[in-house]
A and B are shown apart, each in its own frame.
Chain A
């Protein structure tokens, strides 16, 4: 056991140290170059290792995926665009797309709004309560998905009418005299999808709170004081002074959450596996690949996801350029 711990320690030190040495040496070497060449090469030294990691772990698989998306289910023959046309023609997949769209519309907005709300409100508490409330909001992020799945089962669980309810929501519903509802199978108005979204929001608000809280605390007090002196009330000061200054962070958080939502997987997989009309893209992908063994459909789904995100990225870069120009 001690041997094991020692080994782990060596692994940690050598792993981290090795990476550090790599940068140090690379930098030293580049600095030996004539300064013009140095200027030109240096950016690539800085992004090189990151890009190498991305190339191996994401780019190569992505390119492979794009190619496979034009091939049949066991990747033995090219079939042109038929994976795409088949998928888009299938009502099940259109439902999946619609569900994913609902997730994208609702979850990021709610997560950012709640996270910002908590960050701003908690900022006004004494240090003790502030820390406590933030820790509570953060808690769900620390729970592994299997654990979270288990507990939400005890919230949504439904027992037949007349038997003891062990799901919290149905206990409340039956206590006020209504019939128990099978929440996760209730697909009218996509109700069950909303209940799944609640879980993701519950898990993700901690993320947006942490980032936004750092930003809110970065807003210089003077600017707010100035607004107050000009006669602005709290709410006005918040929207006219605080929000513009933290806007870049809000956008970052919003996009990050959006991207997380686009590939939301665990929650749906664990709770319903996409049944009862709750399917989303990432779960569909996973099941196409590993349950149905259909590499063609699976790849085509991922490619559509990649295409869907490009507009967001273009917006992001344009936004960045504008900021640069105005600075």
Chain B
């Protein structure tokens, strides 16, 4: 009898404790989750921050208010890892905007992501967006788990506009032109390239982008896809050839500001900035479109971007091709039965959505997007590079297993940059690190 009383009292005391906590919750948004569906709230989880997040919230929020939909925005640092935990813990958002398709496909294996063929008009979407982009989040059976909301372009070479034009340099059309330009700059007594791959815990990823860019150029989409899926060895002769192009630029005498030895210790975000020194510290820098956002280029350059900075597409090996390596934010749906969530998804992946590009530095995935919404000429040019792509491919390291794409690939590239391994040793080491299953 007494024992039972004890238990009961304990229960009462514990529940007061819990009750009190629930009170504190205010909005009562505990337990929001995708599988709840129709809970009157659509939670959108994403990994971008600051200006991007502000602009996103502003545009989607205004639209949702008109539609009478209640949207909860969850900008989440360390997105990749947290979305995994939330899926494993079954605490799902309604919509997740993935920064890369590798993680989307991984999560799709849990069966919790909706096949968007059942939800969106895929044929229309396919027509409208940059070719090849939907393939990224498509599994072996053809199910599509995410649709692009925005894209970014990685195959870009930036240059300091004034000095570049004054010197009479021309934009290269082929790899050969690029090498000729490099020599010309050297003859003029300037170091051609600024290269930096230091990124704290993620040091090395910039180098993987270079390799990918050239694998895409040498192997074409077919070779690139096989390489990414490990249908050919990581150190396939085709990849060796592609890596050779990178090696030629990076290790050539006098090619890189500070020399090859400084590459691994130069922070990627600000590596390009010596371009804007007087006189310029270098003339060329290959990096994605995000460089034009605050935090990378100096504030004065960003304010006058069109006049200070120029950009061209990293040239193909042969003239005529136009392969583009890029990235993008792709939206997946967890709440397949919630109408509001579907509406939000349709909206953010549609062609109309994109007023936020004005401050976010993003590019719409739709080739018919109204470019007048882009805030400056530079972003328009970059958009056109993307829309003119014959082959658009996502960053391959994101699609490889974590051991490689966020591990040995970075690590071995650093080892190669630091001259502690030759390129072929590095590639072989990466091949050996590929997980067995």
Contacts and interface: CB of A to CB of B under 8 A. Distances in A.
A136 interface: no
Contacts of A161: 258, 262
What is the predominant secondary structure among interface residues of chain A facing chain B? helix
Q: How large is the interface on B (under 10, 10 to 19, 20 to 34, 35 or more residues)?
A: 35 or more
Given A7-B26, A160-B262, A291 B81 contact: yes
Contacts of A10: 20, 23-24
Given A7-B23, A161-B258, A275-B414, A32 B200 contact: no
A275 B411 contact: yes
Interface string B390-428: 000000000001110011001100100010000000000
Contact of B20 (A15, A159, A185, A274): A15
B13 A293 contact: no
Given A11-B24, A33-B2, A270-B201, A275 B410 contact: yes
B398 to A, nearest CB: 12
B189 to A, nearest CB: 16
Contacts of A274: 201
Q: How large is the interface on A (under 10, 10 to 19, 20 to 34, 35 or more residues)?
A: 35 or more
Interface in A132-151: 149
B407 A291 contact: yes
Contact of B106 (A26, A149, A293): A293
A170 to B, nearest CB: 10
A11 B203 CA distance: 44
What is the predominant secondary structure among interface residues of chain B facing chain A? helix
Given A29-B9, A162-B258, A276-B414, A292 B435 contact: yes
Contact of B407 (A18, A72, A73, A292): A292
Contact of A160 (B200, B266, B414): B266
A3 B27 CA distance: 11
Given A10-B20, A11-B23, A287-B402, A271 B13 contact: no
A158 B16 contact: no
A291 B406 contact: yes
Contacts of B257: 160
Given A32-B2, A287-B402, A21 B13 contact: yes
Contacts of A81: none
Interface string A238-281: 00000000000000000000000000000001111111100000
B204 interface: yes
Contacts of A269: 201
B84 interface: yes
A158 B266 CA distance: 7
A160 B418 contact: no
28 contacts: A3-B26, A4-B26, A7-B25, A10-B20, A10-B23, A11-B20, A11-B24, A15-B20, A19-B13, A22-B13, A25-B13, A29-B2, A159-B265, A160-B257, A160-B258, A160-B265, A182-B265, A185-B418, A270-B200, A271-B200, A271-B201, A274-B201, A290-B84, A291-B81, A292-B402, A292-B407, A293-B401, A294-B435
Interface of B: 2, 5-6, 9-10, 13-14, 16-17, 19-21, 23-26, 80-81, 84-85, 106, 200-204, 257-259, 261-262, 264-267, 274, 401-403, 406-407, 410-411, 414, 418, 435, 437
Interface of A: 3-4, 7-8, 10-11, 13-15, 18-19, 21-22, 25-26, 29-30, 32-33, 72-73, 149, 153, 157-163, 182, 185, 269-276, 287, 290-294
